[in-house]
Structure 1
């Protein structure tokens, strides 16, 4: 099994890089970005360091890669945090210097399109962190969600086991980032009907994690970037979630089917599935539609695993990815799924 190692952690007072390896959305939406930077400084005690493309839309892949190289190579930078995701970080990977990154391992935080960089670091043997973007988690309206903040502090500053806790309420509905009124209050939350949903939960599975945003994983597989042979995932824990683009249940099934045909799905002993996001600015669904979307996605996942790995332990509705709150998941770190105890423990 491929087993990445954990890079050293920052301490309060350290400088951390804030980068935009996908979209330079801080240029367009400064309100959540500046709020996120302020919380990074005042609440977490870290000093943000920006780079030429951090606030610049339309930067070339080579320029974004150059910023990543500068951040990782600088001995005074203790961690690297994404401003937000996007949709073309895949094009940055070809410009990355593998030797430079491998010689200068650092904690890297991001999700969504940052799945590209997380998978790239995983391939180099470096544990990364799925979660913790500046504009979404740090820059959340009103206040950071307590579960998010607690998880982020643990991932940033500590090492060792951390038990995740299920949320009692969540949201997947956005409010406009260009309206100051958005940031005057926390987003309205919807009570969770139950905690996590377990399948084949008669055992304990512990292994090295891999996955991320499912759509990005499918792009990596199509482009054959940062992908190792299927057997190197033997005994691991797959984790995935879907984005605000809301892929249909059919598309989710087809992606998983392709992963099954590639021999990937049968390698994982355990699976964590993020809470499905069923609302977007382009598709403003009613509450009952969101419930149906999540139900259909769950059925698609179960169908794929029934065909390719019917013995896998699966946990649904874990709070990571594109809903709020967002727990940090170590990418390449160890995850323990305890079915009988109904607990999830990650190692930061």
Structure 2
């Protein structure tokens, strides 16, 4: 696998595509979407451009692929940003034109189900950006979290090396997006523990690969876009889990199966996200939520001990389904310095 190259970045005043490659939730939950669009304009100076399926629930994979093609092929569009995730983007991949996308590289921002497109673009040699959806991060009630806003700004506009810093507070509890009162105040936050370092004591630098653990497991099951294990040798793995809140056993089993495939041992370093530990379907209290995180950490370390005992790991990194959220370059360089306890990404 060749290391992907970073496409040109937008500048304030540029047009950016806002797509729904997964779910068309902007059509039924417009409040966070409109707020996110407004912040793109007012706080980042970008002009969002919507496409036919951006607000369409139940759009076909072909329709979504057509929007992706139109956004990447348009020279006036300088970046592509997902509205939100979903659960069926894998069905879009067969309809994507590899040559069109390779010939028209653009920065793509998304996470969760958008792991599909990030993996696809990475295989074409295009660096993407894990994070920064319109409805969740840009549409956060009350205000964007400063850590999220600064990370997104750096990823959008620069190619700089940037040190990631642990959040001092974290939140997982959400209010209903259907209720306008939700957007009158910021979400409740709790103090955040520092990152946890495992097998530290050396420095690892390499191109990143990974994303949402559940989506990666689907790609593995479908034998879609996953290269032979040796292609990932020396890369920095990063993983996160979603609001579906998979149990510790499920997390271990996915990692175990990646280990059986020979994948885990290829990565000398792993960044594991601070797990989202509350959802409307599983509204855990503070104590139960912390126990959920503890059990997930244990499952990750168990899998590493069995399949990649030499891998350095940093647990509870603020990436993925976290608030605040740090943007991770997908295929870009990541330096994990276990001696100095520092993580530096290059956007």
TM-score (ref. length: structure 2): 0.99
Which residue of the partner structure matches residue 191 of structure 1? 191
Contact residue 127 and residue 330 of structure 1 kept, 8 A: yes
User: Could you list the per-position Cα deviations for residues 239-258 of structure 1 after superposition, in whole angstroms to 9, with x for gaps in the alignment?
Assistant: 00000101010000000011
Find the counterpart in structure 2 of residue 266 from structure 1.
Answer: 265
CA displacement at 1:228 relative to structure 2 = 1.2
Secondary structure of the equivalent of 1:49? strand
- Per-residue deviation, 1:334: 0.7
Normalising by structure 1, we get a TM-score of 0.99
Contact 2:154 2:160 in 1 (8 A): no
Report if the CA contact (8 A) 1:244-1:322 is conserved. yes
How far off is 1:160 after superposition? 2.4
- Tell me which residue corresponds to 2:237: 238
State the match for 2:137 in structure 1.
137
Mapping 1:60-139, distance limit 5 Å: 60-139=60-139
Taking the TM superposition and a 5 Å limit, the aligned residue runs for 1:197-216 are: 197-216=196-215
1:29-40 maps to which residues of 2 (within 5 A)? 29-40=29-40
The offset of 1:326, in angstroms, is 0.7
Deviation at 1:23, TM superposition (A): 0.3
Structure 2 residue aligned with 1:147? 147
Give the 3-state SS of the residue equivalent to 1:345 in structure 2: strand
Q: Write the deviation string for residues 163-207 of structure 1: whole angstroms up to 9, x where unpaired.
A: 111000010111100111110011110101x21100011111111
Taking the aligned partners of 1:330 and 1:219, their CA distance within structure 2 comes to 22
Alignment partners' CA distance in 2, 1:323 and 1:339: 23
Superposition RMSD on alpha carbons, in Å? 0.6
* Count, aligned residues: 347
Structure 2 CA distance for aligned equivalents of residues 36 and 318 of structure 1: 24
2:69–2:101 CA contact under 8 A, matched in 1 = yes
User: For 2:83 and 2:276, how far apart are their aligned partners in 1?
Assistant: 21
Aligned partner of residue 253 in structure 1, secondary structure: helix
Q: Deviations over 1:302-322 (max 9, x none)?
A: 000001110111000111111
Does the aligned pair in 1 maintain the 2:141–2:184 contact within 8 Å?
A: yes
Unaligned 5+ runs, structure 1: none
Q: Distance in 2 between matches of 1:216 and 1:43?
A: 31
Q: Compute the displacement of 1:2 (Å).
A: 3.0
Q: Secondary structure at the match of 2:172?
A: coil
Partner Cα separation in structure 2 for residue 299 and residue 245 of structure 1: 19
Q: Supply the distance in 1 between the matched residues of 2:251 and 2:316 (Cα, whole angstroms).
A: 15
**Aligned partners of 2:226, 2:69: CA distance in 1, in Å?**
21
Task: Say if 1:2 and 1:233, in contact at 8 Å, map to a contact too.
Answer: no
Deviation at 1:123, TM superposition (A): 0.7
Moved over 4 A (4+): none
Residue pair 2:20, 2:53 contacting (<8 A) in 1 also: yes
Question: How far apart are the structure 2 equivalents of 1:167 and 1:2?
Answer: 33
